[in-house]
Amino acid sequence: MTLTSIVRKIVNMETIGTVRTFEPVKIEFGNRHEVRQTDYWKREVLPEDKVTETQIILEAALEFRGLKQGFQVLGKIEVKGFDIDELESKVKAKVVADLPNRIVLDFFRTTEVTVKPKDTGLNDSKAESKIDDINAPFLEEQAKAGNEAAKELETAIQEINDGFRDGFQYNERRIRGALVFMTSCNRAANYGFLNDWCEDKLSRIQSGIENLAKRKNANHPVYIQTASEICGYLSSWPSVTSWREQPPRRPKIKI
CATH of the domain at 187: 1.20.120
The answer to whether the CB of 139 falls within 8 A of the CB of 68 is: no
Beta-strand pair 126-132/111-115? unpaired
**For the chain, how many structural domains are there in total?**
2
Digit-coded pLDDT (tens) for 57-111: 999 999 999 999 999 999 999 999 999 999 999 999 999 999 999 999 999 999 9
Digit-coded pLDDT (tens) for 6-25: 555 555 545 445 678 999 99
Q: How far apart are CA 159 and CA 253, in angstroms?
A: 14
Which residue, of 131, 165, 189, is where some domain finishes? 131
Lowest mean pLDDT among 111-115, 189-193, 206-210: 189-193
φ/ψ of 70, rounded to 5, equals: -85, 160
Q: How far apart are CA 24 and CA 26, in angstroms?
A: 7
Residue 100 shares a structural domain with residue 35: yes
Domain for residue 219, yes or no? yes
Domain for residue 255, yes or no? no
Give residues with Cβ within 8 angstroms of 160, minimum separation 6: 175, 178, 179, 182, 230, 234
Residue 167 shares a structural domain with residue 218: yes
Domain for residue 249, yes or no? no
- Is 112 a residue whose pLDDT tops 70? yes
Domain for residue 8, yes or no? no
Count Cβ atoms within 10 A of the Cβ of residue 99 and give its class: 0-12 exposed, 13-18 middle, 19 or more buried: buried
Residue 126 shares a structural domain with residue 37: yes
Domain for residue 236, yes or no? yes
Residue 127 shares a structural domain with residue 200: no
Residue 118 shares a structural domain with residue 147: no
Give the range of the structural domain holding residue 91, as residue numbers without chain letter.
21-131
The proportion of the chain whose per-residue pLDDT surpasses 70, expressed as a percent, equals: 92
* 231: β partners: none
Specify the higher pLDDT residue, 231 or 6. 231
Q: How far apart are CA 136 and CA 99, in angstroms?
A: 11
Lowest mean pLDDT among 6-20, 42-56, 71-85, 186-200: 6-20
